[in-house]
Amino acid sequence: MKRAALFISAAAVLLCAAAFPAVSAGGDIKDIDRSGRVDGFDVVYARRTGSELLCDIADFTLGKPVSGKNTGKYDSEYTIDESCILEPKGTVHTGDGTFYGGGYVGGCAMLDPVSADYWIVAMNLADYNDAQLAGAYIEVTGELGTINMLVTDLLPEGKKGDLDLYVDAFPLIAPPEKGRVPVSWRIIPLDSAENAPVCYKYKEGTTQYWCGVQVRNHRYPITRLEYLDSSGNYVELPRRSYNYFESMDMGKGPFTFRITDIYGQVIIDHDIPLSYDDTEIIQGHVQFPE
C-alpha cells in the first residue's frame, strides 16, 4: 500500500510475521513461511531439516527450471539458488527509527526519479549491504502504526536494524517530538511488481564497450545479476554500492539476463536491448514469484 498508514499494533505485526515454526522429521511443512503457497523456500527448509515436503507442486526441483504455472502471471525459467538466500521470508528486524528530509532525489540507491506515491527510508550500512537491499519495499512499525516504505538511501551512522524515515512519514509511526524511537521492519513484496515485470535502466555513459545496468521493479531485493555470453555461459556482473551492475565486455545486446533475489529465486529474462539513453526504463518479460 503506497503512502497509507495501517494503524495496527506492533505486536500483531510480529505475530503475523513469525518465521519458521518448529518442524520434526516427517512433519507437514507444506507452507512453512505461511506465504499461502509452496515455494522454493519451503523446499530449501525441507532439505536443511531432513523433513518431508508434502508439496502441491509435483515438478518443483531445486536448480532446475519448473513450469511457468508456479511463477504467477509472467512465464519464466524459475529455479532456486540456496547459496543466495539471505533470510527467511517474513523475518522481522528491530532497531531505532529517526527522520530526515532526503531520499527522493539523489539517494544512494540511485533510483531517481522516485515516485512521490511512496514513503521513502534510508537504511543502515549493515542491512543495506553494498546495495543488496537498495529498492527493497519494507513494512515499518512503530508505536502509532505501520507504513510501507521504499529503501532509497543510506544511514551511514546507523547500527544494524536502524532506519531513517522521511520526515513526513515519521509521525505516522511515532510522535515526532521523540526524535528516536524503537521500530520493527520486514521486507514485503513491492506492490508495483504485482502486475508488471522487472525492468532495467542503463547508467549514463553506457556503450557496447562499458555497461552499467540497474534492475528495477523487482518483487524482492536483488542479490545477483548475470548475462549470457557468446559462449553460452552466464557471467556474474559486479555490483557497485550505488546500485548498478557493471561490465566491460557485455557487447551490444540484446541480452539474456539471469537474476537472483535474496530468497534464492532465479528468473531468466530474454531479449533485453542495450540503450544509451540513461533516462529510458526498459520493460522486461518476467517477474519473481510471490
162 falls within a domain: yes
Q: What CATH number is associated with residue 233? A: 2.60.40.760
Residues 136, 208, single domain; the answer is: no
Domain boundary among 140, 160, 187: 187
Local structure of 48: helix, strand or coil: helix
The last residue of one of the domains, among 187, 218, 239, is 187
CATH number of the structural domain spanning residue 103: 2.40.40.10
Shared domain for 112 and 165, answered yes or no, is yes
Please, are residues 120 and 108 in contact by the beta-carbon 8 Å criterion? no
Q: Which of 142, 170, 187 is the last residue of a domain?
A: 187
CB 236 within 8 A of CB 225: yes
Among 263, 256, 255, 257, which residue's Cα sits nearest to residue 289?
A: 263
Query: HEC string of 107-169?
Result: CCCCCCCCCCCCEEEEEEHHHHCCCCCCCCEEEEECCCCEEEEEEEEEECCCCCCCEEEECCC
Residues 205, 183 share a domain: no
260: its cell numbers? 537472483
Both 216 and 275 in one domain: the answer is yes
Q: How long a stretch of residues is the chain? A: 290
Q: Does residue 129 belong to any structural domain of this protein?
A: yes
208 and 162 fall within a common domain: no
For residues 276 and 230, state if they share a domain. Answer: yes
76 burial (CB, 10 Å; 0-12 / 13-18 / 19+) is buried
> What pLDDT was estimated at residue 16?
34
| pLDDT tens, N- to C-terminus, the chain (290 residues) | 556 544 333 333 333 333 333 333 333 445 555 555 556 666 666 665 555 544 433 334 444 444 443 344 444 556 778 888 898 888 999 999 999 998 899 999 999 989 999 999 999 999 999 999 999 999 999 999 999 999 999 999 999 999 999 999 999 999 999 999 999 999 999 999 999 999 999 999 999 999 999 999 999 999 999 999 999 999 999 999 999 999 988 999 899 999 999 999 999 999 999 999 999 999 999 999 88
For residue 119, being part of any structural domain is answered with: yes
| Ramachandran assignment for 34, one of left (phi > 0), alpha (psi -120 to 50 degrees), beta (any other) | left
Domain shared by 155 and 226, yes or no: no
CB-based contacts of 41, cutoff 8 Å, min separation 6: 32, 33, 35, 80, 85, 88, 89, 263, 264
Give the pLDDT of residue 245: 97
What's the pLDDT score for residue 31? 59
Tell me whether residue 155 is in a domain: yes
The answer to whether the CB of 182 falls within 8 A of the CB of 96 is: yes
pTM (2 d.p.): 0.78
In the chain, the number of structural domains is 2
Q: Provide the domain limits for residue 136.
A: 91-187
Cell numbers 561490465: residue? 247
For residues 211 and 284, what is the distance between their CA atoms, to the nearest angstrom?
17
